[in-house]
Structures are given as structure tokens and as C-alpha cells.
Structure 1
Amino acid sequence: MWPHLAYDACLKCQICLSACPVYWVEDDFPGPKAAGPDWYRRAEAGDDTPLPHVDDCTFCQLCEEACPADVPIAHLIAEHKARLSKSGRMRMRDFILKRPHWVARYPRLGHIRGAVAEWMGLSRQSRRPRIYRQRTATRSTVRPPVQGRVGLFIDCFNRGYDEVVIARAEALLNLWGYEVIRLPAEFRCCGAAAYAGGDSALARRLGHETALAIESVVRREKPSVLVTLNATCDGTLRDEWPTYYGLSISLPVIPFEEFAWEKAPQEFWAVLRRAAPETSLTHTTCRGQVARGNGLLSALAKRAGWEAVHLPISCCGAAGSYAFKAEHDATAHRLAEAALPAVSRDPSFLMVDSGTCAVHLQQVLGIVARHPAYWLYERYQEGMKENDGTPKALNADHHSGAPSA
């Protein structure tokens, strides 16, 4: 269903207002109903003048999840954003941020600071992501029975900034008996950042290029499923590509944490439960909630032997590059600060299903935040130490092919 075909289904019930995290912390934001279907109705009548604060929308899509009439509110707001007029320097900044695969190729672009950053409208408050490189080579001592071959979708953030999460996810998949094919092989983007920024045409073009790159490998390697490491990309590939991009791929899409829940053997979970008890904060990102629902991360943490404390927020404010923009950083920090009471539980770490959300929450909450694959790998190592005094070596930097020997 394309957004422009559904705007008039709005019932004017305003349930979307209660679901919108920005509406409750940003006085200038008109709300999803006014910025989405109400504006689109006026635009269809000939007045497409944009509202001044429509760009405050994080594109979390929680309004769409709440809407009883299934109005694609966030996608209407994205079309609304396209009408905004910005200065040349802001357009330059947004031109880059709508193409995160460029930043992934040159991650130092994300570390621009000082006068240049201020001139481009980049936040001085939000911390830039660290670059985690996988430097150590370890090899598994056990070759498990081969269960099949899976594709591992390498999103822009992890490709550019967190090779460790990619390597640990791949090592765990190998340990569970799966050959891993990294997809796409090149620097590509699913289009989520462009759509969130109001450029649906660019989003569809980037998505189309990525789909072609994936399918070219799928036809040759024939993985059975595509495992994702980022909730936004997962929702984009699985739900938005067929609905708003007119795209589909020939294999099912599943997030890493769901694959772990369904496919990791019981012996793996038994090893994890040997490790010392710890408290884990968990946060399913807004896009993860919309795409897959809530609760899986907490259930995963409990199954691994952690005490799980779910963050009491719906959207942390990171929203891809949202928190890195000067005009949004105050709103982004207010959204994340609502989770501060959970830190009183003295947690050891935070488990979150998106890299940019992890960066933002780590800064605001003052606690280390990483992807579930990172923490499951860490706990497996601890569990093996408890078992025989030595860690089990996993293939933490192996890039493709069969489980290591």
C-alpha cells in the first residue's frame, strides 16, 4: 500500500499521538496526525506548504503500529519532509547522511568535529561512534555438524564501525553449525536512512541496487535465510521493501537474536548459564518493536542466564543519524534520559539491537551498550572458562565459508 493511497483512511482518533515519543518531549512538533494525514490531505487539495517542525519526526513508525486504520503515517510524514527547504550546508550534511554506505566506506567522516561540524549542523552534544576493528585471530577447536548455509546481512553501521559484532555473530553462527555468506559483498544501503530523511526516490534506488547485489550472490551460494544485525535494516528488508519500495528478495529475513533463539543448540545455552550471574538491561529499538514486537531480547537474556531489565522507553532518540544533527540532539537526549531510572538496578551492560542506538544510549546512560551477538559471544567465553578453566576459541574473525576446523 503506497502512502498516497491511504491518507484519507485516517479516523482522526489521535491514538497516534499517544504512541509518538517525540510529541511528548518536543513542544514544537505538531504530532503525527497533523504532520502526516492532515498535511497530506491539504497537499492533495493544492496547499503543500510544509510545517516548520515536521523534520522532528524520528521515523520510528510507532504511530503506524498504533493506528487502527493502518494509515502509513510515518511514510506520509516522510513525503512531507521532502517539501522542506534547507540551507546549502544542511543539504550537504543530509546528502551524506542519507547515504550511510558512504560513511561506512570512510568512517572517519563520522568523526568531523569543531568548526566544520558546527558549520554542517552536526551535533556537538552527541558522541560519535567508536571504530571497532577485529584484530585478533582465534579458531574453533571443534567442527560442528553442518546445519546449513545462511546469509549475514552486513548493515552500514556495523560494516563501518563495528567489525567485532560482525565477527562475533559469524563465529556464533559457525559454532551452531552454519556456513556464513556475507551479504551484500559491496558497500550497499537498504535505503532506510534516505526514506527517513524524506527522499523516498533515493531510498528505492538504493534498495533496488542492494537487492540486486544480494540476489546475485543468493543465486550462486543458495543460503536458506538472511540474518540481520540491525533492527532498522531488518524491518526495511522484510516489511518496507515489498510495501513501499516494490522490492522483494528470494529468501526469508530474520534478526540474529530470533535466529539464536530458534537455532542455537541446547548445549550452547547450557554453557552460557554456567557463567557468573549478571544483570542485563535490554532495549528493543522502536523499529524492532514495529517489525518484530517486544520481549525477545529480555527472553534471550534470561535464557542465557542473565537477569533482564527492560528499558522503559519506546524510542531512544538515536534514529539512525537523528541524534547527530544539531537541531535534534536535545530531543534525542530527552528521549534517552527517560531510561535513566533503569540504571539504578546496577546493570553490567545493555543489550540493544541497533548500532546507532547503542552509541546513543551508552553516552546517555553511562553503560556499555552492544548488540546481542557481542554479549552472547562474551558469555560463551565466560561459560567455557567456568567449565574447564579455559575459554573455548571461537572463530571471531572468520569471514565466510564453512564452520572452522
Structure 2
Amino acid sequence: MMANTWLFTSESVSEGHPDKVCDRISDTILDAYLREAPDDARVAVEALATTNHVTVAGEVRGPDSVLRSVEDLVREAVKDIGYDQLGFDWRNVEVINRLHAQSGDIAQGVDEGDKGEEGAGDQGIMFGYACNETEELMPAPIQFAHRILRNMAEDRKAGKRPEFGPDAKSQVTLKYEDGKPVGIDAVVVSTQHDEDVSSDQVRALVKQYLDDALLEGWTVPDDRLFVNPTGRFVLGGPEGDAGLTGRKIIVDTYGGAAPHGGGAFSGKDPTKVDRSAAYAARYLAKNVVAAGLADKCQIQLAYAIGVPEPVAVYVETFGTGKVDQAKLGETLREMVRLTPRGIREQLGLLKPIYARTAAYGHFGRPTDADGGFGWERTDLAPELARAFGHSVAAE
């Protein structure tokens, strides 16, 4: 019998991509509010970036000191990304601040809710996903695409690769057989570079990052490696293309391997379930796979504005599950309180941990010592395994 085969592709973009610059600015401002007033801050910040210009807009509640420091926060974010070019320079970029107070109507529902617990900050649906394709329990194409760019950026910022500019994209196409990735079909990398670096030099530099990013023994055919296909990428970042917060939601999540509810993450405090419930859904799905209860797991959560509990929880294991899906959903709801407050407490979300999420994915990252990426823990896996009579669970 012939194997069921297909190709699947995911892309990533670097922290210097115009949209990611805006995500970083939005999350830097969010972190500032959470640093000053973690329990009371309400933040929904959008940014627009173009040639030597950034506009920040949205709704906030918190200390006036943060509002007054917005211009400095924007420059700090742009400087850390690495923009010091004529058309987008952290020193000279114009910053327009159009932040204003949060709507009282929204605040009433979120702050008071019902049954003594604050409600969700909006209606909507959120998805979480995990699979056993990689050690991080992420789909392999998006995980590999992130690794390529993250490794390149680390060397650029450390001074090891001054030839690279901040703006870059990657794309990885994998071959699948019977649902499992078995090899590389194609890789695309486009990276901003110094004007005096040739196309051949850029290609040679990029090739050095592939072995570390891909699985051992997986090689990219030379005729299927596309580096700067246009031949030149000197002008990059917001100088070359305008950016907006929240336009890379598939890059931020699972690279197209799972559905997306539609809501962006960056710039939103964790009362906004667009963000916190998507993290919770990933946490639950990852622990299901880590517990050995399924090879793939997708969780959907649905909320109504002002209502604390999700109106629906759906679990899908795509035929790989080893336990009843309905029972699994019930067990997960018993183990984790899926109200906005319950999620924040379970995952430790009221901390200034969000600027680091703005590039290279919100998922598949190691949990930091200060609680960053806490939704990537697998601490529920042993209890989940025991609940279904399984003796082996990933720690």
C-alpha cells in the first residue's frame, strides 16, 4: 500500500519585520503597565510604523507615568530590534501617541462580571494545539522556520553577523507520510543585508544556519534552497513597507497547522481572552499530548463578553486519542479554572513577560525563570495521565 504523502509549509518573520516591530512596541508598552500596576492595568495598544514614523493608539487604564513614557518605550523597542538606518532610526523616529482611556462600558463587564468573578474582555473563539512532531510538541514546519530566524537574529545582535539587517523571513516546506514529517522539500529565507554583500555571500551565510535549525540528517536540496530570491534586500523594515500590530497571527501560533480564532495577541493585557485563553488552550493541548493521551490535540474555547466561564470547550484529537474526547474535555475543565482570573492565576500572566513573545512565536518556547511562557509547562501531564489510568507521562 502506498503511503499517504503531502507537503506542508509554514513561514516565520523576524523581529525586524515591519509588523513585528509594531507587535514589539505594543507589548513593550503593555509590559510597562504591568510592571507598574499588574492588578489594575487594562491595555489594548495598536501601533503603526512607516518611514521614520510610529503612531501608537488604543485604550489603556493605568498610571499616567507610563502614558508619559510612551515615546521612550517606543525608541527602546526599536533600538533593541536593531534599527539604526536612515529611513528608520530609533533616535530620530517620530512618535505620535494617541492612547486614551478604556471604555467604561467594557470595564464594567470585565471588572464586575457575574458570580463575583470578572468577565471575559470580549466575545470570541480561541484555539490551542499540540502534536508530537517536535520536542516542543509543536508542528515541525513553523518550529523550524522560527529557529532559522531566531538563530540568525541572535548572531546579528551579538555582532557575529553584522552583514545581516533586522528584517527577515523564512519558509519551510516539509514532506509528510501518513501524518508524520519525514524530510525537507524546500526552504526559503529572505534577509536584509548590507549593501556591499553579494547574493552569493548572503546565500553562503544563510546555509550555515540550516543544520542547527533542522533535524539531524535532514538536508535541503541545493536547488530547493531559495535565499533572497529577488537578488537584493538592502532596504527593509518600516522604511520599505508599513507595519501594523496583529497582522502575523498565523506566524504567532501554529503556522497554519491548526485553526485560529482571529484575534491577535500583542498589546493586549491578559483580561483579553483573545490572548489569555489562547495561551490556556495551548497549555491544555500540550499537556494532553505530553501525558500520552493523544498524538495531536486541538482545544477550542469560546467566551461571551462580561461572562467569566467559557460558553463552550471542545476537544479534538484527530483519531489519535487514547481516551474518550468528551471525558477528556470534562476532566480538563475540572483541573483548570478557565475564567479570565483562573487562567491568569494558573499561568502567572500578570507579569511584564510579553515583549519577548512578539517575535519567533508565542508557543514552543522554553518557560523562563520569571514565569515567561508559563503556558508551555507540562505540569498537568502526570495528573492527567493518572486520571485516565495511564502510568507514563512526560515530565
**Same fold, TM exceeding 0.5?**
no
Of Structure 1 and Structure 2, which has the larger fraction of its residues in strand? 2
Of Structure 1 and Structure 2, which has the larger fraction of its residues in helix? 1
Q: Could you say which TM-score interval applies, normalised by the shorter chain?
A: under 0.3
Please, what TM-score do these two structures have when normalized by structure 2? 0.26
Please, what TM-score do these two structures have when normalized by structure 1? 0.25
